[in-house]
Amino acid sequence: MDAMGALRRTHNCNELGPDQLHQEVVLMGWVLRRRDHGGVIFIDLRDRWGITQVVFNPAINEEVHAKAHRLRSEWVIAVRGRVERRPPDMENPKLATGAIEVLVDELRILNTSETPPFPLDEEIEVSDNLRLQYRYLDLRRPEMAANLIMRHQGLQAVRSYLSDRGFLEIETPMLTRSTPEGARDYLVPSRVNAGRFYALPQSPQLFKQILMIAGMDRYFQIVRCFRDEDLRADRQPEFTQIDMELSFVTEEEIITITEGMIKTLFAATRGIELSLPFTRMTYDEAMRRFGTDRPDTRFGLELVDLTGTLKGCGFKVFRSVIDKGGSVKAINARGCATFSRKDLDDLTEYAGRFGARGMAWIKIREDEWQSPITKFFTDDEIRAMGEALDVRPGDLILFGADRTDIVHQVLAELRLELARRLELTGDSGFEFLWITDFPLLEYDHDQKRHTAVHHPFTAPREEDLDLLATDPGRVRSRAYDLVLNGNEIGGGSIRIHDKTVQEQVFKALGIGEEEAREKFGFLLRALELGAPPHGGIAFGVDRLMMLLTGSSSIRDVIAFPKTQKATCPLTDAPAPVARKQLTELFLRPDWKEE
């Protein structure tokens, strides 16, 4: 291998063109591919910025040409040579540097490489575990590098936008205390305080409210957060948020600032000019039409409530559900009467994953409604269903019948599955939607108590305060979520700034005075010392960047993500630690998994 010596890189591998013809340049990077054409060797040289073709011709330098025969994929090299125009029939319009090539007069091999475990110059499927184990190779691939570059560009645009509007970027602690609600905390044992633990923050929620009480007025942070929960394609144990909080503001002001930030972000990363303001929809309307508070509105397949129409029907399954206070709703899958019995069985199995105990269906034919259940309905009921669902010959009706929340969950997921199968979204762009007027609390049937829809510090609507003690499920909150193509990318609220109201909300959540004082005493004390009205919002950076880049997983927009088992194949974390470290932390060194 050769030292760089006096060689200094003059250009990156994406910036040379006709303007640099006949100049002497120095490039450095990795060998992407090597081609030997009748004695002349062509190398595609790659760095973070792009690719340049470099040429080793024995007529220019026979010794360098001979040395180039050794080059293999992913060797690290430096070349000095002259920029020349490619022959017209050899130009490559797909490359920014496709009009030129560099005729090499000096070659230095800076490092060699073994054969990579997967090729970096081909579009082939590579297992996620292998990609993560060799993440440093995976990130050399142009599409992966482009994701990280776009992430950087987006976050720089956000920083500038918020700074220009009077926000201060302030860091909050990584080591804090565990609090109830939300997901499971990651705990960190304290060596100097035996038997006590820090928690890694699930969000900076309490600290950013404290900053408003401290008079900072406008705060933001691009911050790491941690949740010990089951993972999937769009979840990681550690993730990044764009977090902000403002004093003396209304929901409208926060929404306006947020829309401007998102508009700036999309312009900086994708060159897309978004139209403002974004569409808004109440929580009740979203649930009624789509069964979810994060609907994908790029296609139809909306839910239709048939509970009133079928309350006296002869189909016992439906009538029993309605008599118990449940709902019967349906989706009209336009043109899907061609689905086979296997297709319907597959959809039934899919619906079962989300709580359905079966799935009734009707195919609309030219001269009949075809289904085992049609005999249980009167002509008037069939006519009313047809009008409500706007059916036409060739349509397929899919029903959900159960407790209303289960019906919503099942049909919301079924709607998305149908859209995937029918390819209804395609390249339909970006559709933003604000969801407003959330309930403050929801009843957890498993825990038999109310829980916070967002978090315990969300302010209730003033006109609903009296309901906190008598009918907490009817209290509306001052919360708002931003949805993009059916994905919640951000959420926030106006916060509680009055101690009395905060105590009322704690009581409705089943958090007693003693527990509130133990877990949130510092916040309650701060609320007594001149807390201003305030509110904020936070955005999931990873999910937002996944949508921006068109990636199928947030792992593709994070430099070093974890697997779905929360492990890191690159570093083999988590890993055992020495007995001495455990005893220093007052932890049992003899623990074994049963």
pTM: 0.90
pLDDT of residue 488: 95
pLDDT of residue 483: 98
**CA triple 166-170-174, angle to 5 deg:** 155
Query: Is pLDDT larger for residue 367 or for residue 301?
Result: 301
Q: Are 537 and 480 within 8 A, CB to CB?
A: yes
- Determine if the peptide bond prior to 277 is cis (ω within 30°): yes
Q: What is the CATH number of domain 18-111?
A: 2.40.50.140
At which residue do the structure tokens 């079966």 appear? 358
The pLDDT-based confidence of 212 (bands split at 50, 70, 90) is very high
- For residue 58, pLDDT beyond 70: yes
- For residue 470, pLDDT beyond 80: yes
As to burial, measured by CB atoms within 10 angstroms (0-12 exposed, 13-18 middle, 19+ buried), residue 223 is: buried
DSSP codes, 239-280: EEEEEEEEES--HHHHHHHHHHHHHHHHHHHH-----SSPEE
Calculate helix-pair angle for 541-549, 251-270, nearest 10 degrees. Answer: 40
**How far are the Cα atoms of 13, 173, 200, 322, 591 from residue 582, in angstroms, in the given order?**
49, 24, 19, 57, 10
DSSP 20: G
What phi and psi, each to the nearest 5 degrees, are found at residue 162?
Answer: -70, -40
Q: Which tens digits make up the pLDDT trace of 314-372?
A: 999 999 999 999 999 999 999 999 999 999 999 999 999 999 999 999 999 998 999 99
Q: What SS3 state is found at 78?
A: strand
Q: Which residues share a beta bridge with 102? A: 54, 83
Up-side HSE of residue 446: CA atoms within 13 Å toward CB?
0
User: Residue 217: left if φ>0, alpha if ψ -120 to 50, beta else—which one?
Assistant: left
Q: Which tens digits make up the pLDDT trace of 20-56?
A: 999 999 999 999 999 998 789 999 999 999 999 999 9
Interatomic CA distance for residues 467 and 456, integer angstroms: 16
Calculate helix-pair angle for 341-352, 404-422, nearest 10 degrees. Answer: 130
Average pLDDT over residues 509-526: 87
What phi and psi, each to the nearest 5 degrees, are found at residue 448?
Answer: 60, 45
- For residue 237, pLDDT beyond 70: yes
Q: Are 251 and 535 within 8 A, CB to CB?
A: yes
pLDDT of residue 32: 94
Q: Which tens digits make up the pLDDT trace of 534-557?
A: 999 999 999 999 999 999 899 999
Q: What SS3 state is found at 430?
A: coil
Q: Are 239 and 224 within 8 A, CB to CB?
A: yes
Name which of 220-229, 349-358, 438-447 the model is least confident about: 438-447
- Determine if the peptide bond prior to 87 is cis (ω within 30°): no
- For residue 443, pLDDT beyond 70: yes
Does an H or E element contain 379, and which? helix 379-389
CA torsion angle 312 313 319 322 (round to 10): -50
Interatomic CA distance for residues 332 and 387, integer angstroms: 11
Take residue 283 and report the two structure tokens written for it.
């929580």
DSSP codes, 55-68: EE-TTT-HHHHHHH
Take residue 330 and report the two structure tokens written for it.
């349906």
As to burial, measured by CB atoms within 10 angstroms (0-12 exposed, 13-18 middle, 19+ buried), residue 410 is: buried
pLDDT of residue 6: 79
Average pLDDT over residues 163-169: 98
pLDDT of residue 444: 84
- For residue 248, pLDDT beyond 70: yes
The pLDDT-based confidence of 425 (bands split at 50, 70, 90) is confident
Q: Which residues share a beta bridge with 51? A: 46
Q: What percent of the chain is predicted at pLDDT more than 90?
A: 81
Chain-centre distance of CA 437, in angstroms? 23
Closest of 245, 241, 263 to residue 254, by C-alpha: 245
Q: What percent of the chain is predicted at pLDDT more than 70?
A: 98
Q: Are 439 and 493 within 8 A, CB to CB?
A: no
Name, in order, each residue with C-beta under 8 angstroms of 514's C-beta and a sequence gap of 6 or more.
none
What phi and psi, each to the nearest 5 degrees, are found at residue 96?
Answer: -60, -30
DSSP 576: -
pLDDT of residue 121: 82
pLDDT of residue 231: 73
**What's the maximum distance between 2 C-alpha atoms anywhere in the chain?**
93
Q: Which tens digits make up the pLDDT trace of 182-204?
A: 688 999 999 999 999 999 999 99
Buried b (16+ CB within 10 A) or exposed e, 273-300: ebeeebeebebeebbebbbbbbbbbebe
Q: Which tens digits make up the pLDDT trace of 561-593?
A: 999 889 999 999 999 999 899 988 988 877 665
3-state DSSP of 540-571: EHHHHHHHHHCCCCHHHHCCCCCCCCCCECCC
Interatomic CA distance for residues 297 and 285, integer angstroms: 12
Domain boundaries, the chain: 18-111, 130-275+534-594, 299-422
- For residue 272, pLDDT beyond 90: yes
As to burial, measured by CB atoms within 10 angstroms (0-12 exposed, 13-18 middle, 19+ buried), residue 236 is: buried
The CATH architecture one would assign to domain 130-275+534-594 is: 2-Layer Sandwich (3.30)
CATH 1.10.3720.10 fits 299-422, yes or no: no
Average pLDDT over residues 101-126: 92
- Residues counted in the chain: 594
pLDDT of residue 181: 59
pLDDT of residue 518: 85
Mean pLDDT estimate for the chain:
93
pLDDT of residue 180: 64
**How far are the Cα atoms of 104, 376, 399, 406, 518 from residue 310, in angstroms, in the given order?**
80, 11, 12, 18, 51
Does an H or E element contain 459, and which? none
**How far are the Cα atoms of 76, 113, 144, 146 from residue 120, in angstroms, in the given order?**
14, 13, 11, 14
Q: Are 318 and 401 within 8 A, CB to CB?
A: yes
